[in-house]
Structure 1
Amino acid sequence: MRAEDIEALIAVGRPTIARDGSFAVFAMSRPDIAANSNVGQLWRVDLPDGTPRRLTRGKADGSPRLSPDGARIAFTRLDAKGRPQLFVVDATGGEPVQATDAPLGVGDFDWSPDGTVLGFTARVPEKGRYGTVEGLDPNAESPRRITGVRWHANGLGYIADRPAHVFVVAAPQTDSEPFYEPAPAVIAEGDEPPKKRIVAHEATQLTHGDRSHSGIAFSGDEILTTVDEIERERRDLRSPLIAVRTDGSGERELIGRDANLGIGGVAVADDGTIAFLGDDVGPEGVDFVAPITSLWVLEADGPRRVTDAETVDLGEVGSHITPLGEDFLVQDRTRGRVRLLRVTRAGAVTEVLGGDVEVGGHDAAGDRIVAAAATPDSYGELFLIDGGAAPRVLTAFGARAAAAGIVAPTELSVDARDGYPVHGWVAKPEGEGPFPVILQIHGGPYASYGVHLFDETQVLVDAGYAVVYCNPRGSAGYGREHGRSIRQAMGTVDFTDVIDFLDGAVAADSALDGDRLGVMGGSYGGYLTAWVIAHDHRFAGAIVERGFLDPTSFQGTSDIGSFFGDEYVGTDPDAIARQSPLAVVDQVRTPTLVMHSELDFRCPLEQATRYYSALVRNGVDAELLVFPGENHELSRSGQPRHRIERFAAILDWWARRLPVKTPS
């Protein structure tokens, strides 16, 4: 596939299924280059054999949740100001009705058990900021007083002046009278002119103060949500779970900080059992390196871990829980896959959907389970598991990508120099080669490459490059010891693992030209790329993208700087220097393209500019490419035109530094 074929990367979001199992609803999304945004709508499929059909026609409709009776769907849609608001539409289709008018849009949401109320989170702006005063330019706002260790977040910006709170609003009826624009009229002196109405019911705010809240799960007449409070002196990843009364009469704590848990993905079973995804972050609240996310249930004497922390990891992005009778459905990441598991309350595990899939969402009713998953030849499809039958694909969104041309990678395991097995893949163009080889390194570090259709690899292969990529020690999906092996030892076995995997891949395939090599990576992959070129000088070029390049300045600039570096590289200055790419930049001789985004608050822009400046000062052939208006997620969810321009820059760099030989 080529860069412009990112429009074929059609993703399927978390599905929702009717209680009687008769139909399911899901959202699809994809990049649209002409619109320069990600677009998508809701789809419905009648089960078990219906044809999927488009249900809504908004620009970016998403996150559908069916009402308990299956008659209506609540979902998010951008309003006229580009803010995500809740809308409600009949499950059979029709004109959606707007349910919220939150000043900064809504976040998490869910239906009440009786279907009369929607609970949601929304950020509440401080008065005088974020457009709350008409005509007040952001540059003219009052200064911000920072008193905690955190003040911003990637993809959002400042956080202390817009905490997220819990709200409830009456769910609108889809057949109600619409609102009309008031016509100009002469009014009596002292009277107020009629206001234009957008929503039928005003939302009620249930929580207040400086603390933020995330997650919405109804439990009777309470809403379960987690609490995030900006710390005064040191980071604390422990997140209390509270229950907020829907009538606004108060709240109570269910799980406190003394449980030492980072909590997310709360769900309530039909019998009232509370389950959640949790990481044990230790009594200091910062032990986050390879935590192994587990399924927990809340019992009378406190939380109980259900899944085995050594063999099941539920920490993949988007992971959640679906209660299913006495059991729970969860997503387990392992060796580049994300499989769907059914887990009993006693901890017994059964695989529901496995193989070469990366499950991104699921729901269930009776004996029917629907799951959204990516595969090697599709960015997203909807699967049906009907009773004891084998899983069946209900959609064919991958056909567009297949028509664009994709290559199936070959799975490979290589023993590192110390005998440790390193798992990964090789993707190469058709033909005998030999092809120039690019070593790709993933971010994280506690993340992983997987089996899903990956545009980063496919575009390079289409351009004539063989691509080698693996999950070295420090990656997710291979157990806790694997993930923690580089804690305060970055640039050690992770470095040798990627190099040894590259060497093993080249030695195993004569189509790979070991004399023509490049290396590239983003985020932690940018870190390791910078580390590689300081210690191995055989590469014709390198691309260091959105990198973690100076642990010292990272501490005071990144949104995770208050704890990330402390845990991964330690606090001793000598230890930090031993693991810092900037400390060894004077050893780099490889031509290097440094790429970054202006609004990256995860690995701030200064990481790139200081590294680039050091390269130039040391006489290295280097270039810097900075994308305006983008954050750390440019390559995954940035503006489509910027994603195309990013690919163009990558291919141009390799064409100059590592050209593909034209067959004679």
Structure 2
Amino acid sequence: MTQNGITADDLLKFSFLQDPQLSPDGNWLVYVKRSINEEKKYQSSLYMMDLQTKEEFPFTKKDDKAVQPRFSPEGHTILFTSNRSGTQQIWKIASNGGEAEQLTYFKNGAADPIWSPDGKQVLCTVPLAENEVLLTEDDSEDDSKEAKPYVTSRLKYKADGEGLLNETHKHLILIDLDSGKGTKLTTGSYDHQQATFSPDGKRIAFVANRSKDPDYELISDIYELTLEDNQFTKLTDSDGVFTYPNYSPDGTTLSLLGHRREYKGATLTRVWTLDRATGNLTCLTGDWDVEANDVAINDMGTGVQGKGAVWSTENDALYVQASEKGYTNLYHVSLNKRIKTIVSGKRQIYAFSLDQQQKTAVIGVSDHETPGDFSLVSMADGKEEKLTYANQEWLQEKVLSVPEEINFEARDGSKLHGWVMKPIGYQEGTKYPLIVEIHGGPHAMYSHAFMHEFQVLAEKGYGVLYINPRGSHGYGQAFVDAVRGDYGGNDYHDIMDAVDYATKTCDWIDKDRLGVTGGSYGGFMTNWIVGHTNRFKAAVTQRSITNWLSFYGVSDIGYFFTEWELKADLIQDPDTLWKHSPLRYVKNVETPLLILHSEKDHRCPIEQGEQFYVALKQQQKPTRLVRFPEANHNLSRSGDPSLRISRLNEMIEWFEQYL
């Protein structure tokens, strides 16, 4: 039926490139290459590249999970995190190769290694209970496996990807490399993270929410710790969400990313500076209506912890990623608030690393035809040289569907933007079914990045339509905030207007064979759509929300997300929650609906899918429920490879049955 496009099983062939790190002299690149082994399990190892010869070679073993590589200040040693000893610990290895040496032996493991400027100390994070001392793996403790009840008095007692929280928090540990001794720097039932050293190595800045009850006060502050006397100073006023502190080269100022929650979770991330002497916070991008962050969606697992806003060596500007109109690029933001594009293009720049002199940068790039590769960039003129071709060899044998951009107006005149993909093997004059894809968030962004799922649908003979409806990032603060309090309103109309536009302008679309799918918020919208129109002949809802009343109490974020997004809460206004619940309209559903849900999803728990399934089944409506064991909310992006393939195959079989 089709040519040689990408299949669901081709997931097993991909290499996923993450976390590029340039050596201080700019001559070497170390990065994480993630792949799927013969047992269909993820493995990750470090790779090194000589940037003079462009020779690439594996640097650590493939049979363990090595991540977070970090060059020492002089470039002779690399720290990384690995589970090769059985628990996640920090390891070190000479940058010219050799055997890796285990650095930490903490009973609870360690992660997030950071070098001190003189290379004599390492900072890391270790999970510890409030009064728990720092123990090594050899320290004996009662490890009884006897079944015990789980007891909590916390409001937030579970988290997606973690399960029931075990009352530990991330604490900062300082390791002296000469003695190997680790010193606990932080205390209390708080998470301390995103730490960074001052240029003189005498202070550490970090992010924490040390409010009276962090479960209720959803803020993050910047703190500074003086190492000589272990004194804490709180640098922000608990009135916002501030993250990723970075010291200026002269040590007087911190750069931050964040906002003051003016629009709750829909507030644009801005670039800030914090004067350490005066405490003054200055927003550098207040007049730039752009999200200063990478929020582009792809299903290639390229996301890693960001760098924040990185200072120029001249102390007068910052380098930062930002997302706009479906692309994420790298920008130069000066202290006098001038913004210049460093590297542009219709793509997602998902990572970047600068050498010590900032003459070159390495960027991680994903576009419609590139799952993820690295390029070397000259900071002087922006010229690029591609460094890796991670998937090129086998992708050359495949036919890809290249998305075409569309721009159109919604019924109220709002400008909308998206893409449409033709099926593989497209022939002029033939009619094809169309699948509408709806992203989650809702405050995220479909982009010019590669999407395996969309290519799989195109290979099966489907066109694919995807847009950024209001609520999405990339189109300014008013647009991203427009969905709040209006779920199922104009966001629904945006999706339907996109279908109208596509079917009018693409004569190859068969109007009688339309399908729709989406996950998380996209699952909510899929449920909403089938309860409000019979236009689609088949639908697949994934990790969805069906009932805001129960979501409020069962989701790890329900108690605040519901109020933020619907502008109503269970206690004061349950009627509004029910009004926006797809379950309320389940009697209207005629569209055959496949329900896909992960059993360990704590973000949109499986009871949400179960409620919709039983309500449909009781009415003898065409439906099917597929449960994915041991999977969480991120199944489609980072879940077990076998389950990811099963998920895609379930979708395809459903659409083939009804379209």
Counterpart of 1:275 in structure 2 is: 255
Deviation at 1:421, TM superposition (A): 2.0
**Aligned match of 1:331 in 301, 313, 321?**
321
- Report the equivalent of 2:426: 431
Give the deviation of 1:546 after TM superposition.
0.4
Aligned to 2:352: 362
The equivalent residue for 2:579 is 578
Spell out, residue by residue over 1:446-491, the C-alpha distance to the aligned partner (whole angstroms, 9 max, x if none): 0111111101101111111111111001101111101011111111
Q: Is 1:506 the equivalent of 2:517? A: no
Distance 1:53 1:468, change over 3 A: same
Preserved CA contact (<8 Å) 1:548 1:603: yes
Cα distance, 1:140 vs. partner? 1.5
- 2:176 pairs with 1:170: yes
Matched residue SS, 1:397:
coil
Partner of 1:641: 642
Counterpart of 1:416 in structure 2 is 410
| Residue pairs, 1:305-344, within 5 angstroms | 305-308=283-286, 310-316=288-294, 318-320=305-307, 321-325=309-313, 326=315, 327-344=317-334
Counterpart position of 1:467: 464
Task: Report the secondary structure of 1:515's partner residue.
Answer: strand
1:224 match = 205
8 Å Cα contact 1:239-1:261 kept in structure 2 = yes
Amino acid at match of 1:209: G
**Contact 1:56–1:93, Cα closer than 8 Å, also in 2:** no
Q: Let me know the Cα RMSD of the aligned residues.
A: 2.3
Amino acid in the other structure paired with 2:543: R
Local SS of the residue matching 1:255: coil
Distance 1:152 1:495, change over 3 A: same
Q: Which shifted more, 315-324 or 578-587?
A: 315-324
Q: What's the offset of the Cα at 1:389?
A: 4.6
Cα distance 1:464–1:564, how it changes in 2: closer, same or farther (>3 A)?
same
Whether 2:109 is the aligned partner of 1:105: answer yes
Alignment of 1:172-191 (within 5 A): none
Moved more, 92-101 or 590-599: 92-101
Which residue pairs with 2:390 in the alignment?
A: 397
* Mean Cα deviation higher: 263-272 or 641-650: 263-272
From 484, 491, 497, the equivalent of 2:488 is 491
Question: Helix, strand or coil: the match of 2:541?
Answer: strand
How far off is 1:232 after superposition?
A: 4.6
Q: Aligned partners of 2:518 and 2:229: how far apart in 1?
A: 49
Q: Secondary structure at the match of 1:169?
A: strand
In 1, Cα distance between equivalents of 2:44 and 2:593: 37
Deviation of the 1:54 alpha carbon: 2.2
Q: Give me the TM-score of the superposition, normalised by structure 1.
A: 0.89
Query: Distance in 1 between the 2:645 and 2:181 partners?
Result: 42
Are 2:419 and 2:465, in contact at CA under 8 Å, matched by a contact in 1? yes
Runs of 4+ in 1 over 4 A off after TM superposition: 125-128, 130-135, 229-234
Q: Is the 8 A contact 2:514 2:538 kept in 1?
A: yes
Residue 510 to residue 262, structure 1, CA distance change in 2 (3 Å) = same
Q: CA shift at 1:247, angstroms?
A: 5.5
**Worse overlay, 642-651 or 38-47:** 38-47
Equivalent-residue separation in structure 1 for 2:218 and 2:111 (angstroms): 20
Flag structure 1 segments of 5+ consecutive residues without an equivalent.
173-199, 659-664
Instruction: For 1:60-139, list aligned pairs within 5 A.
Output: 60-81=65-86, 83-125=87-129, 135-137=143-145
Determine helix, strand or coil for the equivalent of 1:424.
strand
Gap change, CA 1:75 and 1:601, over 3 Å in 2: same
Q: Distance in 2 between matches of 1:402 and 1:254?
A: 52
Q: Assess if the C-alpha contact under 8 Å between 2:268 and 2:477 holds in 1.
A: yes
1:235·1:562 contact (CA, 8 Å) conserved in 2? no
Paired residue secondary structure (2:363): strand
Query: How much has 1:4 moved relative to structure 2?
Result: 1.4
* Identical-pair percentage: 30
Q: Quote the offset at 1:164 in angstroms.
A: 1.1
SS in structure 2 at match of 1:451: coil
Report the counterpart of residue 185 of structure 1 in structure 2: none
Which residue identity is paired with 1:567? W
C-alpha distance after superposition, 1:200-227 (max 9, x if no partner): 8242211122111121211232221111
CA deviations on 1:28-68 (whole Å, 9 max, x unpaired) are 223x1523322222222233552232222243222211111
Q: CA deviation at 1:323?
A: 2.2
- Structure 1 CA distance for aligned equivalents of residues 151 and 546 of structure 2: 28
Report the alpha carbon displacement of residue 126 of structure 1 after superposing the two structures with TM. Answer: 7.4
Number of the residue aligned with 1:528 = 525
Look up the equivalent residue of 1:351 and give its one-letter code.
T
Aligned to 2:298: none
Shift, 1:335, TM fit: 1.3
Match of 2:232 in 1: 251
- 1:446 and 1:116, CA in 2 relative to 1: closer, same or farther beyond 3 A? same
Q: 1:14 to 1:269 in 2, by over 3 A?
A: farther
Seen in structure 2, the aligned counterparts of structure 1 residues 603 and 639 have a Cα distance that, compared at 3 Å, is same
CA gap 1:441/1:72 in 2 versus in 1, 3 angstroms = same
Q: 1:637 to 1:492 in 2, by over 3 A?
A: same
**Cα distance in 1 for residues equivalent to 2:287 and 2:56:** 38
In the alignment, structure 1 residue 375 sits paired with structure 2 residue 381: no
SS in 2 for 1:289: helix
Distance in 2 separating the partners of 1:79 and 1:45? 23
Q: Give the Å deviation of 1:402.
A: 4.1
* Structure 2 unaligned blocks of 5 or more: 1-5, 296-304
**CA displacement, residues 376-418 of structure 1 (integer Å, 9 cap, x when unaligned):** 2111111111232512211111303343432211111122222
* Counterpart contact for 1:289–1:487, Cα < 8 Å: no
Q: Residue 34 of structure 1 corresponds to which residue in structure 2?
A: 38
* TM-score normalised by length of structure 2: 0.90
1: CA distance between counterparts of 2:66 and 2:215? Answer: 39
Alpha carbons of structure 1 residues 578 and 145: separation in structure 2 relative to 1, 3 Å = closer
Q: Give the partner amino acid of 2:273.
A: V
How many residues in Structure 1 have an aligned counterpart in Structure 2? 621
| Aligned match for 1:213, one of 192, 207, 232 | 192
The answer on 1:5 being equivalent to 2:10 is yes
Evaluate the alpha carbon distance shift between residue 209 and residue 389 of structure 1 in structure 2; reply closer, same or farther with a 3 A threshold.
closer
Q: What SS class does the counterpart of residue 562 from structure 1 fall into? A: helix
Deviation at 1:234, TM superposition (A): 6.5
Asked if structure 1 preserves the Cα contact closer than 8 Å seen for 2:110 and 2:124, the reply is yes
Cα distance in structure 2, aligned partners of 1:75 and 1:249: 27
CA shift, 1:125, in A, is 4.7
Q: Deviations over 1:165-200 (max 9, x none)?
A: 11111347xxxxxxxxxxxxxxxxxxxxxxxxxxx8
Between 89-98 and 530-539, the greater mean CA deviation after superposition: 89-98
Correspondence list, 1:153-168, <5 A: 153-159=159-165, 161-168=167-174
2:626 & 2:443 partners in 1: Cα distance?
Answer: 26
* Secondary structure of the structure 1 residue equivalent to 2:558: coil
The 1:322/1:404 distance shift into structure 2, 3 A limit, reads farther
The question of whether the paired residues in 2 share the 8 Å contact of 1:103 and 1:125 is answered with: no
